Every structure is written in C-alpha cells, then in structure tokens.
Amino acid sequence: MPQRPSVPVASGLPAEFSAGVVLVHAHPDDETLTTSALISALAEADITVTVVTATRGERGEIVPGSVPNGADLTAVRAAELRAALDALGVSRHAYLGAGRRHYRDSGMVWGADGRAAAAPDRDPEALTAAEPAEMDADLRALILDGAPGAPGALVTYDSDGGYGHPDHLACHEMTRRVARELELPLYVILDPEDPDFTLEISRAEHRDRVRAAHAAHASQFALADTFVTHSGGQMQELQAVERFRRVD
C-alpha cells in the first residue's frame, strides 16, 4: 500500500507518526480525557491527525443544567466535540459509518467489581450489536480517505478498554483487526501509571489546549484545577502524562 510522504517529526514522537495518525474513540469526550496531549502534540508538529468517533454518546450521563430542555443531546455533544477538537488544533474528524449508518452508544452499567459492564437494554443499532465486518469496512474507508497513502499509525484503547466499557472494547477489537489488515502500527492507550509504555506525552507542555478541550465538554463533566467531576459526582484527577504502547 502506498504511504504518504514522510515529514519532519517533532522530538519525542515516533517517526512512523510522520505520515499521519488516526485516533479511534468510542464517544465524544474520550478523545479529550485520554489523548488530548497527544492530539495537541501531533497538531503542533504539523502531522495530519484524524479523529474517528464511533458513536454520538447518546447514553452518556448529563451534567445537571448543562443541556437546555428539549435540546437534542446528540447535537449538543457534536458541538462540544467540535469545540474540543478545535482547541486541540484538529480539523479532520468523522463519525464511524458517516453518510451510511449511525452507530449508537451501547450504554453500560457499573458492575459489582467497579468496572463497566454491558447494558441490559442495548439498542439494536448500538455499536456492539453491529457485525464486525461492517464496522471494519467503515473504519477502513475512513482510514484510507485522503489517498494516495495510508496514515503512519492508528491509536485506540487497550484490550481492557480502559475501564471495560463495551464500546471501548469494540473499538479496540475493530481497530486491531483493521491495523493488521492494512499492516499499520497500532498504539494503545495506557493507564498513566503503567510502566510498560512506548510513548509518553506530558500534558504540562500542552496545558492550555488540553484544558480548553476539557472545558468544551460541559455536558459530560465539570472542569476544576486538577480534576474533573463527572455527571454522577465521580471525581477524576487530571493525569499529568499520557502513555501509549505499540502493539504487534
């Protein structure tokens, strides 16, 4: 498969990123919570960045008072996502299946072990209800959009999905299959404390962009100085670094 010409790559970024990077996320806000510093670093290095979002986050919780009565939540979250990507310096974005079908948020419930589990009332049009071959074809089409060349690498969740969300797991499996098919390097998102990493990006170096992206997702969480508060009241500390591992 022909590759895009390489461009000079910023210090600390893998050389294979120079041909472009596609990040695959499950819902609006995931790109910010887990990869905002990486996206900012890529944009600042003038590397082509494409963010693919699999669903519109229809089943995510809502910060009280953040969405006007009668407002379309999918439109609100689409606007928040666009604002976050603008803050990070990214113009290339697409929803999985754009122009063909709408993959819906699969939802989740919290299990007794504190991890996400499948929702009992999954929508038949949910991402996790789709045929893998259909998902793969839609992702492949987005990755190859902008030929003549493929990007240099793909980025998505690890095999654990971060905290087990069914849509995160589906994105991992889909992206890994397509990476193998297209013979592209795959980098997975790690817990910031994981010592077995290939790439580390400091958020301090991209603080303004990262905070602006977090602030954009007002229906999902409230931003404070060192943490965000999710709609259910859970407080999540803002991580200092983002870590990734290249997988075969």
Domains and CATH numbers, the chain: 20-247 (3.40.50.10320)
Is residue 198 within 8 A of residue 187, CB to CB? The reply is yes
pTM confidence score? 0.92
Total count of residues recorded for the chain: 248
The per-residue pLDDT for range 194-248, each reduced to its tens digit, is 999 999 999 999 999 999 999 999 999 889 888 888 877 788 888 999 999 999 8
The per-residue pLDDT for range 95-139, each reduced to its tens digit, is 999 989 999 999 988 888 888 888 899 999 999 999 999 999 999
* Alpha helices in the chain, H assignment, sequence order: 30-44, 73-88, 132-144, 161-164, 166-182, 207-216
Is residue 225 within 8 A of residue 37, CB to CB? The reply is no
Please give the span between the terminal C-alpha atoms of the chain, in angstroms, as a whole number: 18
Task: Check residue 233 and give its pLDDT.
Answer: 78
* Three-state secondary-structure class, residue 231: coil
Joined together, the tokens standing for residue 155 give 């980025």
Joined together, the tokens standing for residue 12 give 């600390």
Task: Check residue 146 and give its pLDDT.
Answer: 60
**β-pairing, 186-190 with 241-247?**
antiparallel
